[in-house]
Chains A and B, each alone.
Chain A
Amino acid sequence: MRLFRSEEHVQRWSATAGIAVGAIFPVDSLWRLAELWFHDRLSPGWRRRTPDEAQAIFSTAGLTGDFWRLDG
């Protein structure tokens, strides 16, 4: 889960490292994901997300498709 200089750099890293490209997305989506995921982390009532809850967060952040599926 890293930041790259551009999508082209992800492609080049993938080819060099022999690791398949996963999901590439803009930092605005990453920020939305972080907001949804971490806003309540210091609450005493916080608990780990259920798969359904996590899936809903990914979807709300605009992160959809097979890569983000938790039931597969």
Chain B
Amino acid sequence: MNGIASFDVDVRLAIQHTLIAGRPTPTVASVAAELKASETDVAAAFDRLAAGHVIVLAPGTHDLLMSAPFAGRPTDFAVTTGERTYAANCIWDALGVAVMLAGAGRRVDADVRTTCADCGASLGLAVRDGTVRADPASAVAHFAVPAARWWADIGFT
């Protein structure tokens, strides 16, 4: 079952649009206020979305850690587009921010800043006119965990 109930769609999109707007990381209370819904209902939606791997919550709480491609906390993957800078969960999600915003009819050009996990050097990806360029050009992506095991420990993945 991959479908999402209507209310849960509203909650998911409220989370995403809050993050796109650069407002503080959504909480059960903030989403409930925005949707004029009860916190009990929104908390239940958070739980369902987390169970469906749509969002990631801190264990035992409703604190939002991930709503891909966005991170709920500062990370080593900063994506700047227009006047806003977003935190992404990983290098895949960092480019996903630019793609997702373009899909919403917003500016697609973006600059990703991160660091090399080996040497700590600053690395960049520039998205311009639908293409990406790495700085330095030698930069490569590395996924450590095989795809079938990504959700075994999504924080590490």
Please tell me which stretch of B28-36, B37-45, B139-147 contacts chain A, meaning at least 4 of its Cβ atoms lie within 8 angstroms of it. Answer: B139-147
The answer to the question of B121 belonging to the interface, with a C-beta cut-off of 8 Å to chain A, is yes
Per a CB cutoff under 8 Å, which of B13, B117, B139 touches A6?
B139
B99 and A23 within 8 A (CB)? no
With CB as the reference atom, state the residue of chain A lying closest to B146: A67
Residues in B whose Cβ lies below 8 Å from that of A44: 9, 13
The answer to the question of B81 belonging to the interface, with a C-beta cut-off of 8 Å to chain A, is no
Residues in B whose Cβ lies below 8 Å from that of A35: 99
B147 and A48 within 8 A (CB)? no
Q: What total of chain B residues lie within 8 Å of the partner, measured CB to CB? A: 51
Report how many A-B pairs have Cβ atoms within 8 Å: 158
Give chain B's interface secondary structure class.
mixed
A72 and B16 within 8 A (CB)? no
A21 to B142, CA, bound (A): 8
Residues in B whose Cβ lies below 8 Å from that of A40: 103
Give chain A's interface secondary structure class.
mixed
A28 to B97, CA, bound (A): 16
Per a CB cutoff under 8 Å, which of A4, A19, A33, A42 touches B139?
A4
A33 and B92 within 8 A (CB)? yes
With CB as the reference atom, state the residue of chain B lying closest to A29: B141
Interface residues on chain A, size class: 35 or more
- Contacts A22-B144, A31-B131, A38-B69; is A5 near B139 (CB within 8 Å)? yes
Q: How far is the CB of B130 from chain A (nearest CB, A)?
A: 8
B141 and A5 within 8 A (CB)? no
A37 to B143, CA, bound (A): 16
Q: Which residues of B contact A (CB under 8 A)?
A: 2-4, 9, 13, 16, 52-54, 68-69, 89-93, 95-100, 102-104, 114, 116-119, 121, 123, 125, 127, 131-134, 136, 138-148, 157
Q: Which residues of A contact B (CB under 8 A)?
A: 1-7, 9-10, 12-13, 16, 19-31, 33-35, 37-44, 47-50, 54, 58, 66-72
